[in-house]
Amino acid sequence: MTTYALQTRNLVKKFGGFVATNDVSLNVEAGARHALIGPNGAGKTTLINLLTGFLEPTSGDVILNGEPVTHLAQHQRVKRGLARTFQINRLFADLTVLESVTMAVNERIGIGARFWRPIGAYAEAVDEAAQLLATLRLLDLAHEKTRNLAYGKQRLIEIALALAMKPRVLLLDEPAAGVPTSESRELFETIAALPRDVTILLIEHDMDLVFRFADQISVLVSGALLTGGTPDEIAVNPKVKEVYLGE
């Protein structure tokens, strides 16, 4: 039986009279590397914002690990295992990579803001952060200040911060945006190597990266799902070709 980590059911979002999300029923399988593609203005960002709870839908549902979360606040969805990458300005330029990720781990554990936290708990958080850095191949940069890192590495740290929440589903909104091509391939290889217990939903406009990374692709056009399938199916789908010919 297929298990879905994240679903939407007949999701609709209207801005005034404009339908930005049009009856979208998306199914993201547990463990998938699922990419959401579509031309500019197709409604990808709006859909991600509905998934995270940044936006309230006009109607329909968002379902996380089989449970509706449609009316839960963003932080409640994070607690239930839905994380997204932070924007670049969430990084504290003066902290080291290890300090930044340790802070995020502490935030999850809930001891970050407390003055009297036990020393042992802090050491455990550092260990966990170091393990995360190893997973993301960042361990050799642990003691560098985040400001001194290449942009591609900074984007990886944002992913580390999201993973520090121990999510079951990770939403990546153009993780390679602004990253030079020379770094973006490596960035994607690292993301692709993440453990499969984290389901990934990716928005990415670079089709080379999408087809290399994804095992499932959903195509959004004018707010509605046009089609979905494996990269091989999507590559030969005439409807998809038609949409992208005009780009």
Q: Does 180 bind ligand ADP (CB under 6 A)?
A: no
Residue 21 DSSP SS3: strand
Q: Does 87 bind ligand ADP (CB under 6 A)?
A: no
Q: Which of 4, 12, 27, 45 binds ligand ADP (CB under 6 A)?
A: 45
SS in 3 state form for 111-161?
Answer: CCCCCCCCHHHHHHHHHHHHHHHHHCCCHHHCCCEHHHCCHHHHHHHHHHH
Residues contacting residue 128 through CB under 8 Å, at least 6 positions apart: 105, 164
Q: Does 53 bind ligand ADP (CB under 6 A)?
A: no
| Site residue total, ligand ADP (CB under 6 A) | 11
For residue 110, count CB atoms less than 10 angstroms from its CB and return exposed for 0-12, middle for 13-18, buried for 19 or more: exposed
Smallest distance, ligand ADP to C-beta of residue 48, A: 8
* Element containing residue 240 per DSSP (H, E): helix 238-245
Pairing of strands 33-37, 199-203: parallel
Q: Does 175 bind ligand ADP (CB under 6 A)?
A: no
Site string for ligand ADP, 113-142 (x = CB under 6 A): ------------------------------
Q: Does 66 bind ligand ADP (CB under 6 A)?
A: no
With beta carbons less than 8 A apart as the criterion, state whether 31 and 201 touch: no
Q: Which of 6, 33, 38, 128 binds ligand ADP (CB under 6 A)?
A: 38
Smallest distance, ligand ADP to C-beta of residue 218, A: 12
Q: Which of 3, 25, 41, 131 binds ligand ADP (CB under 6 A)?
A: 41
* Element containing residue 225 per DSSP (H, E): strand 224-229
Q: Does 246 bind ligand ADP (CB under 6 A)?
A: no
User: What CA–CA distance (Å, rounded) separates 32 from 45?
Assistant: 20
Of the listed pieces 3-11, 12-20, 121-129, 156-164, which binds ligand ADP according to CB under 6 A? 12-20
Q: Which residues of this chain interact with ligand ADP, rule CB under 6 A?
A: 15, 18, 20, 38, 40-46
